[in-house]
Amino acid sequence: MHRVSLPESGRRPWELTEATSSCLALLSVCVVYSDCTPEQLAAIMNCSKHERHTRNYDYMEGGDVRIRQLFSRTQWFLTIDDFGNINGTQDPTNCYSILEIRTVSEGGVLAIKGVKSQYYISMTKAGQLQGKRIYNANCNFKEVFLENYFNAYSSARWTKNGKEMFIALSQKGRPMRGKKTRREHIASHFIPMKCREEERRVD
């Protein structure tokens, strides 16, 4: 029998690296929802960590505001409704999935508010996600840029036994308690997607 020699990395030729897989995930999301921005296209074509971090940190200058949808790696859009309930939807036109992401302090600390509902996403000391009409310290989250080209959002105020607690949507689109989340879990991974103009009209 002839042995097939593997590359020095030990990976078979048909196996994708994690970075390549993540780029393909970005491409598939943009193709399905026809929502690519120049920045997302650059991430897909370039897949350069340096370029990505330079691009994403630009908006933090001066407390900027973004209107985005957060698309989970578990295939759900994050929503917050008129009662402050936080869930996931697979409908990309759901008006409750349109979010205002506002930088509130240096170091990537931000607040996330539903454009339609006007509720802020907050996390309690116990790690429960809730909607709050009035902004407070529980509404602060740290945006983390992951090596796989997704973002994660951890509570800026609370930890559990010294471990970060993240916004996360389960495989069924349900919000997870922060104490059950980890940075490496796919439920905690999101792509901030730019909304189309017609989707911003939520009234």
User: Is 12 inside any structural domain?
Assistant: no
User: Is 113 inside any structural domain?
Assistant: yes
User: Is 182 inside any structural domain?
Assistant: yes
Contacts of residues 74-77 at CB distance under 8 Å and 24 or more positions apart, as own/partner, are 74/169, 74/170, 74/171, 74/173, 74/186, 74/187, 76/169, 76/173
Number of domains present in the structure of the chain: 1
Q: What pLDDT, on the 0 to 100 scale, is given for residue 106?
A: 84
User: Is 114 inside any structural domain?
Assistant: yes
Better pLDDT: 70 or 7: 70
Token pair of 30 as six digits: 């943009």
**pTM of structure:** 0.70
Q: Are 188 and 71 a contacting pair, CB within 8 Å?
A: no
CATH code for the domain in which residue 176 is found: 2.80.10.50
Host domain of residue 91: 62-200
Tell me what the pLDDT averaged over the chain comes to.
79
